[in-house]
Structure 1
Amino acid sequence: MSSAESTTDRVARADRLAPAEVAEALALARLAGDADGADPFDEHTLLRLRDPEAPAVHLTARAADGTLTGYAHVDTSDPAGVGAELAVHPAYRRRGTGRALARGVLAAASGPVRAWAHGDHPSAAALAVDLGFTRARVLWQLRRSLAAALPAPRLPDGVVLRAFRPGADDEAWLALNTRAFAAHPEQGRWTPADLRARLVEPWFDPAGFLLAVEEASGRLLGFHWTKVHERPGSARIGEVYVLGVDPSAHGGGLGRALTTAGLAHLRDARGLDRVMLYVDESNTSAVALYERIGFARWCGHVNYQLG
């Protein structure tokens, strides 16, 4: 979110965007991300923005000459409340555009609202307080150099690593993901459609989707799904995209082994020299694990809630 003073921009509401409007919103998001040092929309929002069938409310703000000055995405698919993210063009800030979009989000919501402020920008915090939102959750982005030494992965006895097989492993992986993230507000609710949407993304690489398998039975015990971010004008960076371990396999060092195996893949197979990941501030055991293997805090993303 972004705060501002007065505005002449016009805010419109739509249930769908034309392809040209989607392209405008994505371009605006890139400009905002470059200016702020943190992209304004997470992957979930970007996937839904590009999907014409995804139920959502789209709010657009335009200057008198038609320039897109702000965009807000309101996810209406969750019966427990709506999720919202918004961005304002860097050249059109301090005109009230962020506030107008935020009020549009509240008008579109029929229940509680959850809004992410990526990068924990001070103006977002100010606007959230003004509108009655409370700071409910913090997601840390941690980073690590891959030039530093990596500990060798030590798998538990009887466990081997192999690559994910699209189509063959989908059902078993979704079941494992649900068990591993049973208490997570987003990851644990992935559906087959959520998985398929990512398997067709340009960045998907099955070789970087590592599965820990019980050798005797073939049962999936854990996974480390890596991702590589490649953006024109920016240095490539790897990501610990999703890492999970079956609760029945906790305590045996599998999470640490999967983490280091994935980092080694990003360094050795993909030629990367740095990596990032996201972890909830409240997940103190995971934060401690990552810090022990060399990760440090880079920035925070804050979830604000109302209602």
Structure 2
Amino acid sequence: MTSDDTARPSPAARSIETRPELTPDQEEAVLTLLDEAARIDGQQAVSEQGRLHLRGAAREGVRHLLLTVGDDLLGYAQLEDTDPVEAPAAELVVHPSHRGHGHGRALGSALLAESGKRLRVWAHGGHSAARHLAQVLGLTLFRELRQMRRSLADFDPPEPVLPEGVTVRAFVPGEDDAAWLAANAEAFAHHPEQGSLTQRDLDDRKAEPWFDPAGFFLAERRGGEGGNGTGGAELLGFHWTKVHAGERLGEVYVVGVRPGAQGGGLGKALTTIGLRHLAAQGLPTAMLYVDADNKAAVTVYERLGFVTYETDLMYRSET
């Protein structure tokens, strides 16, 4: 959610269109708007998942809101209604040169109407303007997501210790897809945003320029049951790393351990293996995202030398 507020009268020419999918020209216009806003704000207003949703055919539960004045796209919002329990989630942005004219409030009000006033909205970076807009819309703080970072220049951990019988290898695209999706769903059953990823979501990420299976680590035990991994192995956990080449930044993209394998140090070992991989590529810094209320994970990352770099906030309606 990026807007600087909203008290001024709405321009008569402003209109908001809601679409299940975008045309190629609309997609290009939205991506240009996002890039221009990110250049000024220092971060993206729409998450990676949201940017992937811009592409291709319509996706179930996803709607795009385009705010235009005349022929110019000045604002964009995305609403995703795929969580069977929680309210629909949204992200929005207003062009930096056109803030302060009520566009943010207009988009927020349109999102409330589209969602039946059951709404969650991300404010990436937690800027004061976004917090004020949330207040204007009657939303309250619901979730805090921390971005944590640490230097890799001095990263020299002890050799990771894996549980007995467990080995780690790289992901094989096409062969490991189904097993990973099943393990991811189990590991993140409590976290629908991550746990509900589908084959299409995985394919989207595999098609991205940053995807590198050599940095996607799978921990497995041979002879296990129910894992469906390559060669009859049971997939117990994984660490998928990501490299932001332009920023020379490595990311602990996602670390997951199946419930039955948790508590034995596998998550810490996988995290260390991934960080060593990123450090070996000469990247100076590593980052990750973690919910502030996940005290156990925050403690693990702090012990690995991570500190909070910035915070994303999620607000929701009370109805």
> TM-score category by the smaller chain?
over 0.9
Give the letter for the 2:252 counterpart.
Answer: V
Tell me if the contact between 2:219 and 2:238 (Cα under 8 Å) persists in the aligned partners. Answer: yes
Who is 1:130 aligned against?
A: 136
Who is 1:253 aligned against?
A: 265
What is the 5 A alignment of 1:102-251? Answer: 102-110=108-116, 112-151=118-157, 152-215=159-222, 217=224, 218-231=233-246, 235-251=247-263
Task: Report the more deviating stretch, 142-151 or 76-85.
Answer: 76-85
Q: Secondary structure at the match of 1:186?
A: helix
Tell me if the contact between 1:71 and 1:88 (Cα under 8 Å) persists in the aligned partners. Answer: yes
**Structure 1 residues 176 and 132: CA distance shift in structure 2, 3 A:** same
RMSD after superposition = 1.7
Who is 1:273 aligned against?
A: 284
Q: Does 1:4 align with 2:6?
A: yes
Q: Percent identity?
A: 48
For 1:30 and 1:260, locate their aligned partners in 2 and report how far apart those are by CA, in whole Å.
33
For 2:206 and 2:252, locate their aligned partners in 1 and report how far apart those are by CA, in whole Å.
16
For 2:84 and 2:169, locate their aligned partners in 1 and report how far apart those are by CA, in whole Å.
37
Residue correspondences, number: 302
Unaligned runs of 5+ in 1: none
Who is 2:52 aligned against?
A: 47
Question: How far does residue 175 in structure 1 lie from its aligned partner after superposition?
Answer: 1.6
For 2:63 and 2:271, locate their aligned partners in 1 and report how far apart those are by CA, in whole Å.
38
- How does the TM-score come out when normalised to structure 2? 0.89
Question: How far does residue 78 in structure 1 lie from its aligned partner after superposition?
Answer: 4.1
For 1:190 and 1:18, locate their aligned partners in 2 and report how far apart those are by CA, in whole Å.
24
Question: What whole-Å deviation, never above 9, does each CA across 1:92-151 have from its counterpart, x for those lacking one?
Answer: 111111111111111212351111110001111111112111111111100111112231
Question: How far does residue 191 in structure 1 lie from its aligned partner after superposition?
Answer: 2.2
Q: Secondary structure at the match of 2:26?
A: helix
Question: How far does residue 164 in structure 1 lie from its aligned partner after superposition?
Answer: 0.7
Question: How far does residue 40 in structure 1 lie from its aligned partner after superposition?
Answer: 0.4
Unaligned runs of 5+ in 2: 225-232
Question: How far does residue 259 in structure 1 lie from its aligned partner after superposition?
Answer: 0.6
For 1:178 and 1:57, locate their aligned partners in 2 and report how far apart those are by CA, in whole Å.
24
Tell me if the contact between 1:180 and 1:247 (Cα under 8 Å) persists in the aligned partners. Answer: yes
For 1:248 and 1:138, locate their aligned partners in 2 and report how far apart those are by CA, in whole Å.
28
